Amino acid sequence: MAKVVHGGVTDEELAAALACGQELVDLSASLNPYGPHPDVLAAARAAIVQRYPEADAHTLRRRYAEAIGLESAQVLAGNGSTELIYLVARALAPPGATALVVGPTFGEYRAAAEAADLAMVEWQSQAPSFEVRLDALIDCVGRSKPRVVFLCNPNNPTGALLSREEVALVHEIVGDHGGTLVVDEAYMEFAWPAVEATRSQPGLAIVRSLTKLHAIPGLRLGFLVADADLIDAVERQQPSWSVSAPATAAGIEALRQEEFARESRERVAGTRDRLKARLSAAGLILGRSAANFLLIEAGDAVRARAALLERGWVVRDCTSFGLPGHIRVAIPRDEQADLLGNDLVECLG
């Protein structure tokens, strides 16, 4: 199984910047630029680490289920959404079955399917819009009859978004062929209301994260939302104490920060739309992102990343997504947007 490349700023780049007194702005990881909230950090630091956390994180699961209007039996907490993706792949399809990935997308879906010894099929959206053509995707599902389908919505790195109705249609078609649709909503916090209740249905698994909106990826915390039978099947694959005490405490506090979450979503969305308008007016080609990042056609992603790094911006080279001509840029703080826009136009225009 090939190791998944995730990009990001390196220790060498940080050291070089420090040596010359340059402060880097890391836009390679798509996190809330206004987080984490001080109370979330305080909760993590105050967690009791001298004893084991709850083996199944039941308090956190109950709090998250209450926040989205479901029962705790319909929620599973995990050591980041990536752990849950691997558990789902192992739990939902026997070795040798087919897994379908809707790409270009997050590399861990393929890795999880390969780790579970599943046969891989990939359907690819196309530049420049990377729109998911439902007719073509449904045709691919009909021909491959996958036992599990991985769909990121909004997609990473394109930002393309399917509506609830479109997802429901894909779910129906996948279910008609005996499969399960896994929808990774890691970035949905920035596209739709974060606590919109998801109907728990057979054959539908939704992966969510608190670490994007609350900017705490180092704590590793994700959730799986599904019907109780599916949750039970996945939980049987999970070891005890998967969620640490600091992650549990931070997660419970994050769920209390409703005003911070709302304000962050509104600020990021406003900056995103302003930055998109600036770049589009300058002639740059963008994906139709509904997330907290933009996919930008750059010609040579390696060269573009290096040029922007010289100006203090760390962006994501999308070569590992199969897009060597694109970069992904997270939305910065609003006061940084004009300078970033100017530098992007000068480096890419």
Interacting residues of 211 by C-beta distance below 8 A, sequence separation 6+: 31, 80, 217, 219, 220, 221, 222
Q: Please count the structural domains in the chain.
A: 2
- CATH code assigned at 245: 3.40.640.10
**Whole-angstrom Cα distance, residue 18 to residue 133?**
46
Does residue 64 sit in the same domain as residue 117? yes
97 and 194: one domain? yes
- Spatial distance between the Cα atoms of 190 and 185, rounded to a whole number of angstroms: 10
Domain extent, residue 222, equals 38-256
Domain boundary among 225, 256, 287: 256
Identify whether residues 264 and 174 lie together within a single domain: no
CATH of the domain at 325: 3.90.1150.10
Q: What distance in Å separates the CA atoms of residue 347 and residue 349, rounded to the nearest whole number?
A: 6
| Separation of first and last alpha carbons in the chain | 38
**Can you give the pLDDT of all 349 residues of the chain as single tens digits?**
668 888 888 888 888 888 888 999 999 999 999 999 999 999 999 999 999 999 999 999 999 999 998 999 999 999 999 999 999 999 999 999 999 999 999 999 999 999 999 999 999 999 999 999 999 999 999 999 999 999 999 999 999 999 888 999 999 999 999 999 999 999 999 986 544 545 668 899 999 999 999 999 999 999 999 999 999 999 999 999 999 999 999 999 999 999 999 999 999 999 999 999 999 999 999 988 999 999 999 999 999 999 999 999 999 999 999 999 999 999 999 999 999 999 999 999 8
Question: Has residue 200 been placed in a domain?
Answer: yes
Rounded Cα gap, residues 340 and 344, in angstroms: 6
Domain identity same for 17 and 48: no
Clarify whether residues 239 and 294 are in a common domain: no
Coil/strand/helix, residue 152: strand
Tell whether 151 and 223 lie within a shared domain. yes
